[in-house]
Amino acid sequence: GMRFAFRQARAGRVVMCVDSTDLLNKRHLDYSHNNSGGSGKDSDKNDLWLTAYPLDCEDELSFDSIVVYHSPQLLSDADQDKIHHAVIITYGNGVPTSLSARNSFLQKYQQQQHSSSISNENIIQVSVVDVPCISQLPKQLVVYLKEYKPQWIVFADVCKQGASMPLNGMALQLQNEGLLSDVRWKIVGASATYNPLGTSLTFLNANDVRSTLLSII
């Protein structure tokens, strides 16, 4: 979307881009289920956040685009009737945080299935949706939710808990569109406290995202 943003700016549109210091040097996804950035071992260095530079420079993300990270489970055709969909909507450094939360959630959910506390007849798929433009409701998000019809949605906002979270307004617009009427949903944000310089301790936390999803399922 950066190339599209530059092109819009050159055409006279005012575009504001907010970077995330947590993403500047990120290469790996933390699957250690905490907020400490992993154990520091070589096994943590999975390069899962690295992506190839697009070969087609005409292939741009517009302000109405979203990026969907589909659930990783491999399912057979016979399983399709058992699937229940959950979606985590986020942006910025909330994307790798939500991907880590999804991995942790699926592991915990599978453990609960094995202990027979959850029916094996149900399969939950969790997709993470990145909404790069947070100043408006992306048209692709509306289309995606209408087609995908999730039963649960978590809005994982990287801003501190409160009225200033951008996803608050997005959730309100989706509610007014009637897209949340039959959905169980919650919003989770970062800790409502001062962020000490040089630490990610008060950032949006993967454990909080996972716990929020578990609380509505």
pLDDT by residue (tens digit) across 98-121? 999 999 898 887 776 666 555 556
pLDDT tens for each residue of 160-184: 888 889 999 999 999 999 999 999 9
Least confident of 61-70, 102-111, 203-212: 102-111
Determine the pLDDT at residue 39: 40
Q: Find out whether 35 and 109 touch, Cβ atoms under 8 Å.
A: no
Q: What is the mean pLDDT of residues 39-52?
A: 65
pLDDT-derived band at 156 (thresholds 50, 70, 90) equals very high
Rounded to whole angstroms, the Cα distance separating 174 from 168 reads 10
Tokens of 117: 């506390």
Mean pLDDT for the stretch of residues 55-80: 78
The confidence score (pLDDT) of residue 119 equals 52
> How far apart, in whole angstroms, are the C-alpha atoms of residue 184 and residue 177?
15
The whole-number pLDDT of residue 77 equals: 61
Report the pLDDT value the prediction gives residue 35, as an integer from 0 to 100. 42
Percent over 90 (pLDDT), the chain: 43
User: pLDDT tier at 23 (50, 70, 90 boundaries)?
Assistant: confident
Amino acid at 123: I
Q: Is the pLDDT of residue 1 over 80?
A: no
